[in-house]
Amino acid sequence: MNLLKLLGWEVERLTKPYLILITLLVVTQFAWLGIFLWSETNMYEEIRRAGTPDYTLTFGNYLGGTPFILSIGVAVASMVFFSFWIWYRDFQGRGTFMMRLLLMPQQRMFVFSAKLATMILMILGLFSVQWIALKLQYIAFSSWFDSQMIPMSGSFKQAIGYDGALAIMFPASLFNFFVHQALIALAVLFIFSFVLIERSLWQRTVWAPLLALLMIGGFIVVPMIGFFTIENDLFMEEALAVFTLILVIWFIGVVWIGHRQLTKKLSV
């Protein structure tokens, strides 16, 4: 019950900046779509007047435009920023709100879990909005060119498949969707671990951020080096099993770090 209350509390606190981000994302993409349709139609007209209408468009052309890629980049960067900010805002100023959170008579891991769940909800929300926006953009894109009788090639699926970031948003199967979400959650957990280690060390050393970065970096890189060293000697199934094991170790590791820092090390 307290976890749900805390989750509601965290979500409420992030709602305003999150809605601003979503609005910016959608407005940027639809504005870019408008500009793209207008310029491509003009170009087609010019080519047609020249008498060589050998011209086909794909939705991928639109997705490859700088404004669209930038909008996705800003959304990803914002999620990374939110993952840091969801903790650091509670450490701001002398009257740190983190003190109030740590004084609550409940498990401190509730604070951790509520923040993690908030981030995952926000990321899933962003995916949903992007998914709907992209579908609407495709409908607008194809209807416009159909109405202008401009030839198009390639399907929505093909266009999405060419883009790495969008392929994560539109996974080929439910299994892939869960794998992608697990990897995203792991990335968020690595950021959480960094913040909690840094905040536990800041009163002891001015090198706290660097030390925290080295510790988390080491935790990520060492198993990867081990994996790449033995990868060539393994069958594909074995390599997959080893990589899954590394993922499990990372998950257990970051949750353990979060628990230890919050209950034994964190200093406010």
Partner 1 sequence: MIEVLGVKKRYRKKQVIEDVSFTAQKGEITCLLGLNGTGKSTILKGIMGLTPFDQGTVLVDGKSIDLNRVAFVPDHSTFPIHFTIEQCEAFMRDFYPTFDPKLFARLVDEFKLFPEDKLSELSKGTLAKVNLALGIAQDPDYLLLDEPFSGIDVFSKEQIVELFSSDIMEDRGVLITTHEIEDIEYLVDKAVMLNRGRIVREFDVEDVRFIHGKSIVDVMREEYGA
Residue numbers at the binding site for partner 1 (CB under 8 A): 2, 5-6, 9, 93-97, 99-100, 102-106, 203-205, 264-268
Instruction: Please state the closest distance from residue 195 (CB atom) to partner 1, in A.
Output: 17
Q: Which of 76/208 has CB closer to partner 1?
A: 208
User: Shortest approach of partner 1 to residue 125 CB, angstroms?
Assistant: 24
Residues in the chain: 268
CA-CA distance, 13 to 87, in Å (whole number)? Answer: 12
- To the nearest 10 degrees (0 to 180), the angle between helices 109-147 and 236-260 is 130
Residue appearing with tokens 């869960």: 178
Minimum gap (Å) between residue 166 Cβ and partner 1: 37
Taking alpha carbons only, the member of 112, 106, 86, 103 closest to residue 260 is 112
- C-beta closer to partner 1: residue 25 or 114: 114
Cβ-contact 96, 268 below 8 angstroms: yes
d(CA 60, CA 154): 8
Q: How far is the CB of 218 from partner 1 (least distance, A)?
A: 23
Q: Of the two residues 92 and 143, which places its CB atom closer to partner 1 in the complex?
A: 92
* Contact of 156 with 141, CB cutoff 8 Å: no
Shortest approach of partner 1 to residue 197 CB, angstroms? 14
Q: Enumerate the H helices of 50-173 as residue ranges.
A: 59-63, 66-88, 97-102, 109-147, 156-162, 164-169
Task: Decide whether 56 or 205 has the Cβ nearer to partner 1.
Answer: 205
25 to each of 20, 70, 127, 135, 248, how far by Cα in Å? 9, 10, 11, 15, 34
Give the shortest CB-263-to-partner 1 separation in angstroms: 8
Q: Which token pair is 5?
A: 């209350």
Nearer to partner 1, 141 or 199 (CB): 199
Nearer to partner 1, 178 or 207 (CB): 207
